[in-house]
A and B are shown apart, each in its own frame.
Chain A
Amino acid sequence: MDFDLSEEQRLLKESVDGLLNDSYDFEARKKYRTEKGGWSKTVWGKLAEQGLLGLPFSEEDGGFGAGAVETAIVMEAMGKALVLEPYLATVVIAGGFLRHGGSAEQKAAHIPGIIDGSKTFAFAQLEKNSRYDLSDVATTAKKKGAGWVIDGEKFVVINGENADTLIVTARTSGARRDRNGIGAFLVPANAKGVGRKGYPTQDGLHAADITLTGVEVGAEAAIGDPENALELIERVVDDARTAMCAEAVGAMDESLKSTVEYLKTRKQFGVAIGTFQTLQHRAADMFVAVEQARSMSMFATMAADFDNAKERATAVAAAKVQIGKSLKFVGQQSIQLHGGIGMTQEAKIGHYFKRLTMIENTFGDTDYHLRRVTDAGGLI
């Protein structure tokens, strides 16, 4: 029973916090948003230099063999700074597919480019009608010779506009909502038949809607079993949910800090508004919400080591419920306590609110995960 970071983990945290303190204040972030693709290649290069893009990969693949705790440390820091760069899409998700399901050849082909910062990825999963159901896949991958031909449409693919490689979920057999017959394919973003329509998202990231029309890939494109990759997909998405929980804790922490700071400095009726008990108690409730979220984020992070896959999935779902409830309360109340200033694009706080809001609706919202915990028979 231990909730402290190891010495190495503490050093990692210091170095990530240090890097983002130096290069990622709110003004810098505004500038990065205007760069081509909506994020900074310079910052991405720095993340690579510090080894952060190689953290979760094994040493034989050129990485550092770090675990879920290290990923959570990085994601929490990125949540605090509202980082725009595609760490989740590239290192956590694409990295997760390669680590958990990739062949030796696939690892050799793709991991070095992630680690040195030269390549980024995007996860093309969401479809028009799939909502949060990972097994609802209408995009098809049909056998052609040794390879595959992929047809379909994917939506709100984060970093889809910039990515060098897409990981596309597609159905190789069965009906639209069958659990069997789903594959995950590495598709070069510039492959013939890939159409990308990019746009910014509400929280300042960039995404794309993607059409796949007769896109031909080789046999080596399939990660894991092309007939039965759903478990791999679920595993990777659980990793992504866990990482987003940590990101949300970082963003909530910063929202609370900024709100308390505002309560101390903003004066009305001749006094700091933080002297009013109704506002104090709201801030206290925000603190409670953040701490409960932090506890469940730690729970999900540590659940990555659970042997039992079902228990692991339930733990992640439970964490996503708690984080969803907490982030809604903390996000909304941060705006309320900032008053009119909280409504402006100019103030930082609204941008935290927007990122937190989008986190809730990514890979399953609170209701969706509550149903998952319910169907698993609860937690106690």
Chain B
Amino acid sequence: MDLAFSKEEIAFREEVRTFFKDNVPPDTRRKLQEGRHLSKDEMVTWWRILNKKGWGVSHWPKEYGGTGWTSVQHYIFNEELQMHPAPAPLAFGVSMVGPVIYTFGNEAQKKQYLPRIANVDDWWCQGFSEPGSGSDLASLKTKAERRGDKYIINGQKTWTTLAQHADMIFCLCRTDNNAKKQMGISFIVFDMKSKGITVRPIETIDGGHEVNEVFFDDVEVPVENLIGEENKGWDYAKFLLGNERTGIARVGVSKERLRRIKDLAAKVESNGKPVLEDQGFREKLAACEIELKALELTQLRVVADEGKHGKGKPNPASSVLKIKGSEIQQTTTELLMEVIGPFAAPYDEHGDDGSNEAMDWTAQIAPSYFNNRKVSIYGGSNEIQRNIITKAVLGL
């Protein structure tokens, strides 16, 4: 047992940190620190810088543009990215559909899609959830009917993150109504500009527009857009969801937010002294830091295990990451709310793009708190995570 990073790993951290310092556009960094949303341009600009460096799809196999880093290097890269902070690569392309395509797709699909994912020439979105199919995803109803060399797609997806920016969607569609619900699903990708697609925004409680409803009305999709085999889509979806086990803890995000809490708490006064000097508040902060340290160690256990024994058999501790990671992210947004106190109230009705000079960033604290309630709901709600532990770990 050894807690220390190797000399090479420490040098790698320095290299990554320096690159972020020199290359993340300062305005992009500031907006992230302040909990604001970024424009499409701002995100794509940064991802192309990252891709030019060769780090856009770092965890992909080398033949498709990956870096060949060790699991510890990936961990360091993600932590530095989150702490800087800089926008994480677009998960829907880089972490989700990309690995499905290079694992299950044919050569033509790999050639067509992978380089464009890496350079974000296509912005991808995810068509999984439906109004009637949330945690019970396999009950989905969106239909893809084979007609000649086309699929005709009808149905509705929801919670489609940033679909308003998307060029492409990967979609779970029912291709066999008679099979058991998991068996009749296919994984199909198509152009968001296809005729018959309507995107309707969903405004979330923070006033933001991240998610959408997407409607399909007789959308025609060429059959060559099927990934892998017909009716095997559920297997690919499970592969996709199981792929990102360690990034989900977001330890770096919480570390960065804790720094911001301390900065703000040093400025805001209560009882004639900074909130940061209040014993009760300091103990809450320390309690959160201890939880985060425990999570970081749990994550490192999983990372070290993957580095040594491969990704084949997930370390049971990995199921802890989503639950604790989301809880701690939520705690940090609560602590920010506590620091700002009554000044959480003003609402910036011009949106959060920073154009309203009259409102400073503290107007984003409450929206960020409201918005972060999502983290224990998405990606398999924390209750679903407990079901996973129950079955996969405890054998109940």
Interface hit among B58-66, B211-219, B296-304: B296-304
Interface residues of A in 1-31 (CB under 8 A from B): 1-5, 9
Are B305 and A3 interface neighbours, CB within 8 A? Answer: yes
Are B323 and A260 interface neighbours, CB within 8 A? Answer: no
Which of B1, B9, B292, B294 is close to A69, meaning CB atoms less than 8 Å apart?
B1
A69–B259 CA distance with the chains assembled, in angstroms: 32
Number of interchain pairs (Cβ within 8 Å) = 135
Query: Is residue B286 contacting chain A, with contact meaning CB distance below 8 A?
Result: yes
Query: Is residue A321 contacting chain B, with contact meaning CB distance below 8 A?
Result: yes
Are A4 and B1 interface neighbours, CB within 8 A? Answer: yes
Which of A2, A301, A379 is close to B304, meaning CB atoms less than 8 Å apart?
A2
Interface residues of B in 25-41 (CB under 8 A from A): none
Interface hit among A130-138, A190-198, A233-241, A290-298: A290-298
Identity of the chain A residue whose Cβ is nearest the Cβ of B259 in the assembled complex: A380
User: Interface extent on B, as a size class?
Assistant: 35 or more
Interface hit among A102-110, A121-129, A147-155, A280-288: A280-288
Are A299 and B293 interface neighbours, CB within 8 A? Answer: yes
Query: Is residue A162 contacting chain B, with contact meaning CB distance below 8 A?
Result: no
Interface centre among B1, B259, B386 (most CB of A within 10 A): B1
Query: Is residue B169 contacting chain A, with contact meaning CB distance below 8 A?
Result: no
Residues 253-278 of chain A: 1 if any B CB is under 8 Å from the residue's CB, otherwise 0? 00000001001100000000011010
Residues 89-127 of chain B: 1 if any A CB is under 8 Å from the residue's CB, otherwise 0? 000000000000000000000000000000000000000
Are A296 and B389 interface neighbours, CB within 8 A? Answer: no
Interface hit among A93-101, A169-177, A216-224, A369-377: A369-377
Are A260 and B304 interface neighbours, CB within 8 A? Answer: no
Are B320 and A291 interface neighbours, CB within 8 A? Answer: yes
A275–B308 CA distance with the chains assembled, in angstroms: 35
Identity of the chain A residue whose Cβ is nearest the Cβ of B390 in the assembled complex: A280
**Known contacts A1-B304, A291-B317; is A299 also within 8 Å of B389 by CB?**
no
Task: Provide the residues of chain B in CB contact with A370, threshold 8 Å.
Answer: 283, 286-287, 290
Query: Is residue B143 contacting chain A, with contact meaning CB distance below 8 A?
Result: no
Are A322 and B290 interface neighbours, CB within 8 A? Answer: yes
Identity of the chain B residue whose Cβ is nearest the Cβ of A275 in the assembled complex: B396
Task: Provide the residues of chain B in CB contact with A291, threshold 8 Å.
Answer: 298, 316-317, 320
Are B394 and A318 interface neighbours, CB within 8 A? Answer: no
Are A380 and B386 interface neighbours, CB within 8 A? Answer: no
Which of B1, B287, B297 is close to A2, meaning CB atoms less than 8 Å apart?
B1
Task: Provide the residues of chain A in CB contact with B319, threshold 8 Å.
Answer: 287
Are A1 and B3 interface neighbours, CB within 8 A? Answer: yes
Identity of the chain B residue whose Cβ is nearest the Cβ of A288 in the assembled complex: B320
Query: Is residue A378 contacting chain B, with contact meaning CB distance below 8 A?
Result: yes
| Chain B contact residues: helix, strand, loop or mixed | helix
Query: Is residue A48 contacting chain B, with contact meaning CB distance below 8 A?
Result: no
Task: Provide the residues of chain B in CB contact with A298, threshold 8 Å.
Answer: 1, 297, 301
Query: Is residue B250 contacting chain A, with contact meaning CB distance below 8 A?
Result: no
A288–B295 CA distance with the chains assembled, in angstroms: 10
Query: Is residue A302 contacting chain B, with contact meaning CB distance below 8 A?
Result: yes
A171–B386 CA distance with the chains assembled, in angstroms: 53
Identity of the chain B residue whose Cβ is nearest the Cβ of A371 in the assembled complex: B283
Interface residues of B in 274-299 (CB under 8 A from A): 279, 282-283, 285-287, 289-295, 297-298
The number of residues on chain A lying at the interface, defined by a beta carbon within 8 Å of a beta carbon of chain B, is 41
Identity of the chain A residue whose Cβ is nearest the Cβ of B393 in the assembled complex: A287
Shortest A99–chain B CB gap in Å is: 20
**Known contacts A2-B1, A260-B395; is A280 also within 8 Å of B386 by CB?**
yes
Are A281 and B324 interface neighbours, CB within 8 A? Answer: no
Are B293 and A379 interface neighbours, CB within 8 A? Answer: yes
A1–B2 CA distance with the chains assembled, in angstroms: 5
Task: Provide the residues of chain A in CB contact with B255, threshold 8 Å.
Answer: 380
Shortest B385–chain A CB gap in Å is: 8
Are B293 and A281 interface neighbours, CB within 8 A? Answer: no
Identity of the chain B residue whose Cβ is nearest the Cβ of A318 in the assembled complex: B290
Query: Is residue B258 contacting chain A, with contact meaning CB distance below 8 A?
Result: yes
A371–B303 CA distance with the chains assembled, in angstroms: 31
Query: Is residue B4 contacting chain A, with contact meaning CB distance below 8 A?
Result: yes
Shortest B111–chain A CB gap in Å is: 37
Residues 6-22 of chain B: 1 if any A CB is under 8 Å from the residue's CB, otherwise 0? 10010000000000000
Which of A1, A292, A318, A379 is close to B5, meaning CB atoms less than 8 Å apart?
A1
Are A302 and B390 interface neighbours, CB within 8 A? Answer: no
Are A379 and B286 interface neighbours, CB within 8 A? Answer: yes
Query: Is residue B72 contacting chain A, with contact meaning CB distance below 8 A?
Result: yes
Task: Provide the residues of chain B in CB contact with A69, threshold 8 Å.
Answer: 1
Shortest A325–chain B CB gap in Å is: 9
Shortest B322–chain A CB gap in Å is: 10
A291–B323 CA distance with the chains assembled, in angstroms: 12
**Known contacts A302-B3, A374-B282; is A292 also within 8 Å of B258 by CB?**
no
Task: Provide the residues of chain B in CB contact with A281, threshold 8 Å.
Answer: 383, 386-387, 390
**Known contacts A3-B304, A379-B293; is A280 also within 8 Å of B324 by CB?**
no
Task: Provide the residues of chain B in CB contact with A5, threshold 8 Å.
Answer: 1
Are A374 and B286 interface neighbours, CB within 8 A? Answer: yes
Are A296 and B1 interface neighbours, CB within 8 A? Answer: no
Task: Provide the residues of chain A in CB contact with B2, threshold 8 Å.
Answer: 1-2, 302
A229–B386 CA distance with the chains assembled, in angstroms: 49
Given A298-B301, A374-B279, 7 other A-B residues pairs in contact with their CB atoms under 8 A: A1-B3, A3-B1, A4-B304, A284-B386, A370-B283, A373-B286, A378-B289
Residues on A lying within 8 angstroms of B by beta carbon are 1-5, 9, 69, 260, 263-264, 274-275, 277, 280-281, 283-285, 287-288, 291-296, 298-299, 301-303, 318, 321-322, 370-371, 373-374, 378-380
The contact sample of 11 A-B pairs, CB cut-off 8 A, is: A1-B9, A1-B300, A264-B395, A288-B323, A295-B294, A295-B295, A298-B301, A318-B293, A322-B290, A374-B285, A379-B289
- Which 6 interchain pairs have the tightest Cβ spacing? A295-B297, A284-B386, A284-B389, A280-B390, A374-B286, A302-B3
